[in-house]
Amino acid sequence: MCNQNHCLSKQLARQPQFTTFVLEDLSGIRAKRRGKKLNKWLSSWTFRQFEMFLGYKAEALGKRVVFVDPRYTSQKCNRCGHTAKANRCKARFHCKACGFKAHADTNAAMNIRDNYILSCAFGSQGQGTVNCPYVSEIASRDKPLGLR
Task: Give 71 or 88: the residue with its C-beta nearer to Zn ion.
Answer: 88
Q: Give 9 or 111: the residue with its C-beta nearer to Zn ion.
A: 111
Nearer to Zn ion, 23 or 110 (CB): 110
In the bound complex, what is the minimum distance in angstroms from residue 131's beta carbon to Zn ion?
A: 16
Shortest Cβ 108–Zn ion spacing (Å): 14
DSSP letter (8 states) at residue 77: -
CB closer to Zn ion out of 95 and 138: 95
State the residues that interact with Zn ion by CB under 5 A.
77, 79-80, 82, 95, 97-98, 100
Report in angstroms how near the CB of residue 21 gets to Zn ion at its nearest. 26
What is the phi/psi pair of residue 10, to 5°? -65, -45
In order, the DSSP letters of 8-53 are: HHHHHHH-TT-SEEEEE--TT---TTS-HHHHHHHTSHHHHHHHHH
Q: 92: which strand partners?
A: 89, 103
| Least distance to Zn ion, CB of residue 87, Å | 8
Answer whether 91's CB lies under 8 Å from 105's CB.
yes
